[in-house]
Chains A and B, each alone.
Chain A
Amino acid sequence: MNLSYLIRRLVAVLVVMAIVTVAVFAITNVLPGNAALMILGENATAQNLAALERQLGLDRPLLVQYFDWVSGVVRGDLGMSLRLGLPVAEVVGSAFINSMWLAGLALAAVTVISIPLGALAAIKRGTVYDTGIGVFSYVGTALPEFVTATLLLVLFASPANPIFPAGGFADPMEDFGLFLTHAALPVATLGLVLMAHISRQVRSEMSEVLSSDYVRAARIKGLSERRVIWRHTLPNSMAPAVAVISLDIGYLLGGIIVVEEIFAWPGLGRLLIYALQNRDLPVIQAITLVLAVVYALSNLISDLVIAKLDPRVRYG
């Protein structure tokens, strides 16, 4: 791992980000419907529409709008929300933190639970336990988040039997316990699909390692089964597991959108839905950029982790 590699990766990330911003700009401007229309409604007169567009700067040529926005981003200025009249950076900033709490908890839960789950399924292959995990993973990956969320609400947040609150948010800095009760169902919803998917992948990776030549050689050396699993199998299954998890982070970030909306969690997802409904372009663009950057950086971090875990990986 050397500096040169890191620099090349970061350059690649920047290039990708540029493409993302172009894509977002293209989508939001090429397709019909804009913020002025949303603010004034469908019955607005053409005059009023034009006036508002001029006021919001939407009548300038696309290229100008784009470069204006990009130069702002580089300076750290994400513009002003068209609907809320507040600086985008402020609005997105606090939402970002709330979302990261959710994503972080979900990721932690998923990692801690699904890796051992998948590993056990691989070791006890063919047993009832393995089949159980298999069924769980198939069912889990077939349930969209909104279905899981609704089911969990019915089970755990019904007015007749409220084990957890049906939504809302509490500041973790003030009352962590309360925060956790509010976070429980959203995290469970997000986590379920990921756990289902990742434990299955971990199982399949470990099964491959278990049938490899070097595990066979280790057994023929007469090493205890314990040593074979802990020293020869698990370490070689970790790198692929990390790779799978990092790919699923993209799915996690998408899932946040729906989950936050259902549970009224004040994060980026909920903000995005609001911004989309109101065609609030600066907010939409900022959130998309933020999510894409988070995804790209998490991929970079996971690549670094993989390099640490697998000595064969040589980035140079």
Chain B
Amino acid sequence: MDSTPAAERPVLTVDGYSMAYDTDEGRIEALKNVSLSIHRGETHAIVGESGSGKTTLAWAITRYLPDNAHDLGGAILLSSEDMLAKTAAELTDLRGRRLAMVYQDPSSSLNPSMTLGDQVTEVLRRHRAMSPQEARSEAEAALARTGIRNPAAMMTRYPHEASGGEKQRVIIATAFACNPELIIFDEPTTALDILTANQIIELFLELREETGVAALYISHDLGLVSRVADTVSVLYQGEVVEQGDLKTVFAAPAHAYTQRLLAALPRPQDRLAVAAPQTDTPLMSLENIGVCYYTPSLLTRLLEPKTVAQYGARHISFSVRPGELLGVVGESGSGKSTIAKAATGLHPFEGRIVFDGKVYDSARALDRAYRRQVQIVFQHPDGSLNPRETIGRILARPLRLYDLVPRAQIAKRVAELLEMVLLPPEFASRYPHQLSGGQKQRVAIARAFAAEPRLVICDEITASLDVSVQATMARLLVDLQARSGAACIFITHDLNLVRQLAHRIVVMRNGAIVESFAAEDTEQTDRAPYTRELIDAVPVLDRPAISATTEVPHQ
């Protein structure tokens, strides 16, 4: 019997735990010999990329595993009780009461046909044996504690009637409701906007202070994790490669993988941009651009005269100079992707585009010359490439379409393009599904640059990639930009990244421009309040500069 006093006994102990899945391709080891412990009041971060096993660890702890999962050894103890030995009934009893979880996607984790209030009260009635009235008032109080403005009204709403941030607060309230010993947070802010995410983090810090709960915080975002966690385990392919006090580990990472992750974090002071453009004459100007997504039909207007047209963006004007990298920053719904669609003629627009002296006043007016000179790279590598075409054919297409290269030279040029994006030439005969996400994104970038454009629009090209790959992609883009002299409109929600790369920055919100400024002026005091909020929401991680020669394997 453990003689350590209760207060010092860890809330969660994972001791040499291993686990595997049986799949069509055989047994896959998801977790290998994982060990960690969390004490009361401590927040332990699990950091890793996709495939690291971090989410699997969460399911293993809650014992919610599919049938094809097998424990291979080791122990998981909740307050010194063996979790692997628990019966189904015991698990149902302790889940929600002693152990709770907050999920990544608040929209899909809430029952769409049940009111938010009911989803909180049911946990209170189940574990704290409250009557309906008691549960209701306690639930309201819980919602109030998470900062929801009108808790009584929120109780009666359905999930689709609440915003992402509000839904996540409800889930957090449910998790804290029965005062559990341990709460697992699985990437709770990934699906939220920057400012909302920031608020949720503040909320977490407050509640943690109040309740002293032990927390397991899973994330891929090291910057974020450094604000909330005391200790950290770095997970790579199911194994813990580094572990310890967070500040110590981040200040002096021992393992190469940890170093790579830290190096990948964008820091504004690590300037990556090409030389600033010399001239002031813009290459392209957007003048008073508006994009309308919905106009009510005649019948609708007759029956509901107050229905208005809905715009994705309105009265947008900015310009890009040759060779410049213009960053466009905003949260979701800001209209930044809408502008990309308008500028590439994918969506009809109002207003004018002036490119290289020529004026285009509608999407239809955009001619072949324009379309060659303005290229776009999209966010999702999986959707960017036609699954039925080989990489070689995909890259050859712009060469053929724009007659850039004589027939006989195409294969050679394709090989050059692949080399430019640091991919082996034999990839030309492969199909997209045989490439990883990062590799596919490189092909998409190569395809854009194959047309020898003067402007490349990058619409959140790093958002769907793993952290370590993002840095490589950004570096690649800047390199290509330098080689070709092309200008670039870089759309993103990552302010730190854009400060590294851009010459000028445009901030958008709700379909309108808030302000635009030179990158070096980001911290000036005359920035708009919204911009200030965005900057403050993503503080830069204080870490030692990691040399650029640190090996970052291509992915």
Contacts and interface: CB of A to CB of B under 8 A. Distances in A.
B550 to A, nearest CB: 38
Contact of B113 (A213, A217, A220, A309): A309
Nearest to A215: B111
B96 A220 contact: yes
Contact of B95 (A11, A221, A312): A221
Contacts of B109: 213-214, 216-217
A225 to B, nearest CB: 8
Interface in B123-149: 123, 126-127
The bracket for how many chain B residues form the interface is 20 to 34
Contact of A8 (B158, B160, B171, B300): B300
A220 B95 contact: yes
B114 to A, nearest CB: 7
Interface stretch (A27-35, A46-54, A227-235, A270-278): A227-235
B112 A236 contact: yes
Interface string B82-120: 000000000111111100110101001111111000000
A160 interface: no
**Contact residues of A: prevailing secondary structure:** helix
Given A213-B108, A213-B109, A221 B158 contact: no
B62 A224 contact: no
A264 B87 CA distance: 60
A18 B196 CA distance: 52
A227 B171 CA distance: 19
B303 A222 contact: no
A212 B171 CA distance: 16
B114 A231 contact: yes
Given A214-B108, A222-B96, A311-B160, A236 B113 contact: yes
The bracket for how many chain A residues form the interface is 20 to 34
A222 to B, nearest CB: 3
Contacts of A7: 303
A232 B111 CA distance: 7
Given A4-B300, A8-B299, A217 B97 contact: no
Contacts of A3: 303
Contact of A218 (B62, B111, B127, B160): B111
Given A213-B103, A311-B158, A221 B174 contact: yes
Interface in A245-263: none
B248 to A, nearest CB: 33
Contacts of A4: 300, 303-304
B402 interface: no
Contacts of B187: none
A235 B115 CA distance: 13
A223 B108 CA distance: 18
B113 A310 contact: yes
Interface in B52-108: 62, 64, 91-97, 100-101, 103, 105, 108
Contacts of B126: 221-224, 227
A219 interface: yes
Given A221-B174, A222-B94, 14 more contacts: A4-B300, A4-B304, A8-B303, A216-B64, A217-B109, A218-B111, A220-B100, A221-B123, A222-B127, A223-B126, A225-B92, A231-B122, A312-B113, A312-B158
Instruction: Sort A-B residue pairs by CB-CB distance and give the 5 closest, nearest first.
Output: A222-B96, A222-B95, A4-B303, A221-B96, A213-B108
18 contacts: A3-B303, A7-B303, A212-B108, A213-B105, A217-B103, A217-B110, A217-B171, A218-B111, A223-B92, A223-B122, A223-B126, A225-B92, A227-B126, A231-B122, A235-B113, A236-B111, A312-B158, A312-B160
